[in-house]
Amino acid sequence: MASGGNQFQKRGSNFGRSDNVSRTNKHGSSSKALIKDESELEALLDQTKTPLVLILDCIQDPHNLGACLRSANGAGVDAVIIPRDKAAPVTATAVSVSCGGASHTPIFRVTNLARTMESLKKRGIWIAGTSDHLGTQDLYETDLTGPLALVMGSEAKGMRQLTRDKCDYLVSFKMAGFVDCLNVSVATGVCLFEIVRQRKTANA
């Protein structure tokens, strides 16, 4: 035990450091989001051999949006698609929370999400929706190695009915404890990195 008045060291963002400067977000709000016009989506996909697209259907909280964008970038997502209406805009808060993800992953705000999903399907991209209670396939038992668009619904209501109807299938994963679902940004990370795991295994 340490002597003197400072007997205990609190754990925190500067735990174990030799100075008192806490960890900061170096990407901050000064970065700008990489917002693309929806007319540019086709050209981007033309350049991608096995596309991985993340569709966020009406996420409401900028913090959740930013966290999803951070996971998307970390997982190597080629494009993030969000509705132009009824969804949180990519605010300075979302950009900051994304830690650079919003600045380095193309984001497409589309007028008609259902129409965009149909366009993806015509390109041979399978669309996997997510649902806590309506999922018919287990995330970890579904082949996610091909061209894929992952759809995540909003915090309170999940995917809208029309969005759900446009999906090729719905996946879910079982919870092991008392809670019956995860925060949408956490669930996004879980799903994306299962896709990454499967693709790496398939290419090994």
Which parts of the chain are beta strand (E)?
A: 35-36, 52-56, 79-83, 107-110, 126-130, 137-138, 148-152, 169-172
For residue 28 the two structure tokens come to 């901050």
Residue ranges making up the domain that contains 73: 35-203
Calculate the CA 86 to chain-centre distance: 18
Number of domains in the chain: 1
pLDDT at residue 49 tops 50: yes
- Residue 88: exposure state from Cβ atoms within 10 A (0-12, 13-18, ≥19): buried
pTM for this structure? 0.85
Across the chain, mean pLDDT equals 88
* Residue 151 placed within a domain: yes
* Residue 6 placed within a domain: no
* Residue 138 placed within a domain: yes
CATH number of the domain enclosing 191: 3.40.1280.10
* Residue 52 placed within a domain: yes
pLDDT digits (tens, 9 = 90+) for 119-154: 999 999 999 999 887 778 999 999 999 999 999 999
* Residue 25 placed within a domain: no
pLDDT digits (tens, 9 = 90+) for 67-125: 999 999 999 999 999 999 999 999 999 999 999 999 999 999 999 999 999 999 999 99
* Residue 64 placed within a domain: yes
* Residue 54 placed within a domain: yes
pLDDT at residue 63 tops 60: yes
* Residue 187 placed within a domain: yes
Which of 75, 79, 70, 87 is CA-nearest to residue 31? 70
